[in-house]
Chain A
Amino acid sequence: MAIPTLFLVSLIVFGLQKLLPGDPLLTMAGEERDPAVIEFLREKYRLNDPFYMQYLYWVRDVLTGDFGNSLRTGVPVSTLIAQKLPVTIQLAVMAMIFALLIGIPTGIMSAVKKGKAPDYAANAIALSGVSIPNFWLGIILIMVVSVQWRLLPASGYVPLTEDPIQSLRTMLMPSFVLATALGAYLMRHTRSAMLGVLSSDYIRTAKAKGLMPRVVVLKHALRNALMPIVTLTTLLFGELLAGAVLTEQVFTIPGFGKLIVDAVFTRDYAVVQGVVLCTAVGFIFMNLLADILYILINPRLRHPQ
């Protein structure tokens, strides 16, 4: 399933670029726009070849790790990706951990205490989590935590390998900002999945065995409520890999989001292609991971009847 999807994605990524209006060569050729220069550049980048040939060249290069060079700066796209990818992955992982830590426990509590005060409180917080715009929360956090309290750095990025503590400190606020909405989605899904499971017959059986409420909820119920949670988590993580433009902008983090937006505005085809393809591969990988997790969670998929 993953392979044909990958092929289709690569075709679309490549094709869309060709359909976009605007000519990067006009940008590259500079003020003078000598037709000879433009023609030379066209030949150099094989822009005169038929579409499918351009695609095949591109696929061959990609498979050997060569995404071409940025049309604007000449820097290899692979270098750009290698620079930005760790940033985006770190941000995504930290945001996801936050979201899971917030979303799943509150979702479980909300389902167990359905119709009572904790449920209403959790739902109200979830609603605000979804409603508050990321950039606004980010700015407020910078103002309060960084400017007033001087607890965390306001912006920038320190690689994990350079100074792990400082790296985690700089990423703390942006990942928390990203996690608010994600945590709220996860909470709502966990709640509804748990509610469905908690009213099922086997939960009554578990209680009839005299199991403690904690075991009934966290073992017997949660295990069965995990499928939709896994689905949502992997999808959200896939989205995070595409970068988070607004959050990156607010905290000036050099991630994928900023890279692709800049590339689109300057019609830097090669960069856009590389980044989009990279994101798509990440997304497909997350789907694959979800399928593997399903099989681990649900024995019915492991042992067909």
Chain B
Amino acid sequence: MNQSALAEASRTVESSSETVLSVEDFTLSFSESAKTNLIEGVSFHVERGKTLCIVGESGCGKSVTSLALMGLLASPPARIRRGTAMFGGKDLFALSEREKADLRGNDIAMIFQEPMTSLNPAFTVGHQIAEGIMRHRHMSKAEARAETLKMLQMVRIPAPESRLDAYPHQLSGGMRQRVMIAMALANRPKLLIADEPTTALDVTIQAQILKLIRQIQEETGTAMILITHDLGVVAEVADHVAVMYAGHIVEQGPVDEIFNDPQHPYTIGLFGSIPTLGRRQGKLATIKGAVPPLELMPKGCRFSPRCPFADQRCRDEVPPSPQLGPDHTAACWYAPLEQKLGARQ
């Protein structure tokens, strides 16, 4: 095969389902000496134009994961112990500070939870957006300003010309989050990480912002990781879902499978749906207990102290993540639940 045919072939493969980011075995701790890692063996991938929702309760490690991908975790104390995050042929965890800074806000961008405090009160919003454009695209001030105006129009801010010179305190929370989105998308990132982008907003504004994010994603084909604990948001925007519990991904798969056929007891509890398991029905509607502190984490499955199905093996041995369908895995000794638990009882 000659060179051009090879290139042609690889391009077809890429365009069919192009993986933008692939995280393998990501493991992180917050101190040198800790026996238990805060995040252990997390793997997932995101495809071009698709949205991966990472769900889980607060403290499960979803925000830490996103900050680690951005290279924004202070190290020390944070320490990446194992794992790779392949992005455009480079491992994000192995880059130098300078290389990370060159990627940030350029190929990978992030929207944060708190729009009220995420903008610098001392500079106009136009300046803050243009600054990122000039940093990565070597534009003149005037060009960057024109580009900023385009971005403000893209995020549907009314009267964008007059907003260019507005200071953050002159804008509402929803408007500020639109500015944050404009800032994040200004350099057409391949990957957008949104950490609870609507949590701090009014419900009506939440819907508007979600719709906006979806529309822009369709227009630009950006891959997105959306971090949330709001299952309504998941249903709205996700293509894939990864459920995190205490630093593990306990289950991941396509959104309809996770919603309609969850296989990990934690996912089932989280989604408040119940598997058809006869006598145990009804007991799973709430998850009993609380996440144990890191030093009391069991050796095996981290959910075992709260799991109604857990036995000694669950507590002692880390469960495998069997493939339950295309792209659907659940880290549980009893997955798929219907077959294995049904057999046990």
Interface string of B120-160 (1 = CB under 8 A from A): 11111000100110011000000000000000000000000
Are B103 and A210 touching (Cβ within 8 A)?
yes
Interface string of A206-234 (1 = CB under 8 A from B): 11111111000000100110000000000
Residue of B nearest to A220 (CB): B120
Q: Nearest CB to that of B116 among chain A residues?
A: A201
A299 with B102, Cβ < 8 A, contacts A209-B183, A210-B135, A305-B170 known: no
Contact partner, B121, options A207, A211, A299, A305, Cβ 8 Å: A299
Q: Do the beta carbons of B72 and A207 come within 8 Å of each other?
A: yes
Contact call B121/A202, Cβ cutoff below 8 A? yes
Please determine whether B118 and A210 come into contact, CB atoms closer than 8 angstroms: no
Quick check: A224 and B101 within 8 Å, CB to CB?
A: no
Asked if A259 is at the interface (CB within 8 A of a chain B CB), the reply is no
Complex Cα–Cα for A267 and B109 (A): 71
B91 at the interface (CB under 8 A from A): no
B117 at the interface (CB under 8 A from A): yes
Known: A208-B70, A224-B122. A299 touches B167 (CB 8 A): yes
Q: How far is the CB of B340 from chain A (nearest CB, A)?
A: 44
Name the one of B97, B105, B121, B122 contacting A208, with C-beta atoms under 8 angstroms.
B105
Cβ A210 vs Cβ B120 within 8 A:
no
Closest to A302 in B: B167
Contacts of A224 in B (CB 8 A): 120-122
Interface size on B, residues (CB 8 A): 32
State which of B117, B118, B122 has its C-beta within 8 Å of the C-beta of A299: B122
Nearest CB of B to A221, in Å: 9
- Are A210 and B122 interface neighbours, CB within 8 A? no
18 A-B pairs, CB-CB below 8 angstroms? A200-B117, A201-B112, A201-B117, A205-B180, A207-B72, A208-B72, A208-B110, A208-B112, A209-B131, A210-B105, A210-B106, A210-B132, A210-B135, A211-B105, A220-B123, A223-B120, A224-B122, A299-B122
Please give the residue numbers on chain B whose beta carbons come within 8 Å of chain A beta carbons, in ascending order: 70, 72, 97, 101-106, 109-110, 112, 114, 117-124, 128, 131-132, 135-136, 167, 169-170, 180, 183-184
Closest 7 CB pairs of A and B: A210-B104, A210-B105, A209-B105, A209-B132, A201-B117, A202-B120, A299-B167
